[in-house]
Amino acid sequence: MGTWLDNGVFYEIYPQSFNDTNNDGIGDIPGIIEKLDYIQELGCNALWLNPCFVSPFGDAGYDVADYCQVAPRYGTNDDLVRLFDACHERGMHVLLDLVPGHTSIEHPWFKESCKAAPNECTGRYVWNDNVWAPMEVKGISGVLRGISERNGAVGVNFFSFQPALNYGFAEITEPWQSAVDSPEALATRQAMKDVMAFWLERGVDGFRVDMAGSLVKNDPGQEATIALWQDMRAFLDEKYPEAVLISEWGEPDKTIRAGFHMDFLLQFGTSHYMDLFRRPEHSTAEPHPFFSREGKGDASEFVATYKRNLELTNGRGLMCIPSGNHDMERMRRYLDPDEMKMAFAFIMSMPGCPFVYYGDEIGMRHLDVTSVEGGYMRTGARSPMQWDDSANHGFSGAAADDLYIPEDPAADAPTVAAEMADEHSLWHEVQKLIALRQATPALGVTAGIEFVYCEKDAYPLVYLRTAGDERVLVALNPAGRPVEIPCAFEAKSVLYTLGDAPELAGGTLRMPPASAAFFAVK
């Protein structure tokens, strides 16, 4: 790649909940600027901001009403540009969240598309031509009917207020469906290029693209969607060649070909990511995360999928592994802070850019709270950042009842101040791991990986990272019991240990309970 991504360690910020400077109970962009030194001290050198644009906030901003205007509750466009500048002064970078698949019903495009008289937005969304007719389209979760003077129903991508933008249909089965190269589908594509250009002109470094694989409808092999993104990438290469694109897709063999730099390892689909730190998605079975010291987990399906993706991308892989995000339960629901140290040893020693979800570095808990802005179960992972032991944990000067989401009420709620004061804390372990990653090329984004030991329902997990002549063997035993395996590598030095020190000697790797080591090997 040859970009700043080669050393990227991201920090995901949910703007509503990070730092409130105007005491309205909601985080804001000046609050993010105020905490950049903290993020940099942790070791992260890039930010991903969840949507911060004008929105009715039915889905926490993933229902955009104006792609080119910061929501007033967060500040102004000038504040966002100040954030870009402040990051660049520190050698940091910023990705905004681009939501190209749908808008809010309050977007001016949608209001125009509802009119009976033809206009430039008539074909901007996925409308059929008869309000009574069904719409059976893969990727369309439902329709809105009877909301317009226009005769037709409009497809929605997820919530009922998120009408699907029209990028065309790869396979046309109804007369109302547009071809991918139709004027209306190309106009939607150009509108999204204009959005990207707007923010790139103002200094953003690129975009994390929400549900990037969902744009073209009736596209079973996703080849038309891949071609669409290749066209987007060609546009960027001509005008903004430094612009970074990271996809929420979950299939790196498709996204790398489509022109994205990296792909997110999703918590849904076939990745088996959830086997590592949580319970499998939508499962009611008792959770047995691999990184729990109970030692009943299994990483083999995850590794098998990861290896398959490596093969499909000629070894590039480039899957970003997050500690969590705004769409899943916090890791702390399933792992205690000591177990989370082991999880971060894994995250910070794998290829691709690691992502730290705000608050995971201090072990913030998942809360059982009432849904806010369409969060439902996800709301408990979106509570305000806990900075210190002052009112509202230092997040806001507002009354507690006015906070965006209630805070952790526990007497032992983790805070940044307490974690930074304790040299043995999770925060310091994450900081140490990031620093080691940045100082060790073989642990980096594009360095090679080879899995040495991963058996079904067994521990440890061992893999070799390589960059040039540098070789680092990563050995992780989350289980609360000792393990021993044959291992032919010869250690030159030990770069990192967690828990009691493992031993690599005489063709054997011996690992105490809940231990990890990074060995420099010959």
Q: What is the pLDDT of residue 107?
A: 98
- The answer on 221 and 72 residing in a single domain is yes
Angle, CA 350 vertex, CA 348 and CA 355 arms, to 5°: 55
Q: What six digits make up the tokens of 521? A: 């090997």
Q: Would residue 178 count as lying in a domain?
A: no
336: amino acid identity, one letter: D
Scanning the structure block, which residue is given the tokens 């098998």? 304
- The answer on 507 and 471 residing in a single domain is yes
Q: Would residue 74 count as lying in a domain?
A: yes
Q: Which neighbouring-strand residues pair with 164? A: 102
Q: What is the pLDDT of residue 233?
A: 98
- The residue segments making up the domain with residue 478 are 448-521
276: Cβ contacts below 8 Å, ≥ 6 apart: 289, 290, 291, 297, 299, 302, 343, 346
Q: Would residue 179 count as lying in a domain?
A: no
pLDDT of residue 117 exceeding 60: yes
- The answer on 272 and 404 residing in a single domain is yes
Q: Would residue 177 count as lying in a domain?
A: no
pLDDT of residue 230 exceeding 80: yes
Model confidence at 250, in pLDDT bands (50, 70, 90)? confident
- The answer on 106 and 87 residing in a single domain is no
Task: Find the mean pLDDT for residues 389-418.
Answer: 97
Other CB atoms within 10 A of residue 138 CB? 10
- Could you report the per-residue pLDDT of 353-384, keeping only the tens digit for each? 999 999 999 999 999 999 999 999 999 999 99
Strands, sheet with 483-486, edge to edge from the N-terminal-most edge strand? 483-486, 508-511, 503-505
- Could you report the per-residue pLDDT of 460-507, keeping only the tens digit for each? 999 999 999 999 999 999 999 999 999 999 999 999 999 999 999 999
Q: What six digits make up the tokens of 320? A: 């970003």
Q: What is the pLDDT of residue 314?
A: 79
Query: How many domains does the chain contain in total?
Result: 3
Taking a C-beta distance cutoff of 8 angstroms, is the pair 116, 27 a contact? no
Eight-class DSSP state of 125 = B
Task: Find the mean pLDDT for residues 50-74.
Answer: 98
CATH label of the domain that carries residue 108: 3.90.400.10
Task: Find the mean pLDDT for residues 261-289.
Answer: 81
Task: Find the mean pLDDT for residues 101-119.
Answer: 98
Taking a C-beta distance cutoff of 8 angstroms, is the pair 356, 9 a contact? yes
- The answer on 139 and 81 residing in a single domain is no
Q: What is the pLDDT of residue 282?
A: 59
300: Cβ contacts below 8 Å, ≥ 6 apart: 454, 455, 456, 457, 458
CA atoms within 13 A on the CB side of 461: 26
- The answer on 458 and 415 residing in a single domain is no
pLDDT averaged over every residue in the chain = 95
Taking a C-beta distance cutoff of 8 angstroms, is the pair 30, 81 a contact? no
pLDDT of residue 254 exceeding 60: yes
User: Which of residues 382, 403, 437 is at a domain's end?
Assistant: 437
Q: What six digits make up the tokens of 332? A: 């702390």
- The answer on 255 and 159 residing in a single domain is no
Q: What are the E-state strand segments in 373-499?
A: 448-453, 461-467, 470-477, 483-486, 491-498
Model confidence at 317, in pLDDT bands (50, 70, 90)? low
Tell me the whole-structure pTM to 2 decimals. 0.97
The DSSP annotation for 158-193 comes to SSTT-BBB---BSS--STTPPBTTSHHHHHHHHHHH
Q: What is the pLDDT of residue 196?
A: 98
3-state secondary structure of 69: strand
- The answer on 421 and 380 residing in a single domain is yes
Q: What six digits make up the tokens of 278? A: 């949580």
- The answer on 210 and 155 residing in a single domain is no
- Could you report the per-residue pLDDT of 21-41, keeping only the tens digit for each? 999 999 999 999 999 999 999
Task: Find the mean pLDDT for residues 124-141.
Answer: 94
- The answer on 412 and 332 residing in a single domain is yes
User: Which of residues 386, 415, 437 is at a domain's end?
Assistant: 437
pLDDT of residue 318 exceeding 80: no
CATH label of the domain that carries residue 229: 3.20.20.80
Q: What is the pLDDT of residue 253?
A: 87
Task: Find the mean pLDDT for residues 53-58.
Answer: 98
- Could you report the per-residue pLDDT of 278-291, keeping only the tens digit for each? 976 556 778 999 99
Q: What is the pLDDT of residue 1?
A: 47
User: Which of residues 392, 408, 437 is at a domain's end?
Assistant: 437
Other CB atoms within 10 A of residue 1 CB? 13
- The answer on 122 and 94 residing in a single domain is no
How would you classify the pairing of strands 483-486 and 503-505? unpaired
pLDDT of residue 409 exceeding 90: yes
Q: What is the pLDDT of residue 312?
A: 85
Q: Is the sign of the CA dihedral 99, 4, 322, 445 positive or negative?
A: positive
Taking a C-beta distance cutoff of 8 angstroms, is the pair 441, 470 a contact? yes
370: amino acid identity, one letter: T
Task: Find the mean pLDDT for residues 437-444.
Answer: 97
Q: In what helix (H) or strand (E) does residue 87 lie, and over which residues does it extend?
A: helix 77-89
- The answer on 94 and 106 residing in a single domain is no
- Could you report the per-residue pLDDT of 320-343, keeping only the tens digit for each? 899 999 999 999 999 999 999 999
* Residue 168 to residue 182: CA distance in whole angstroms: 7
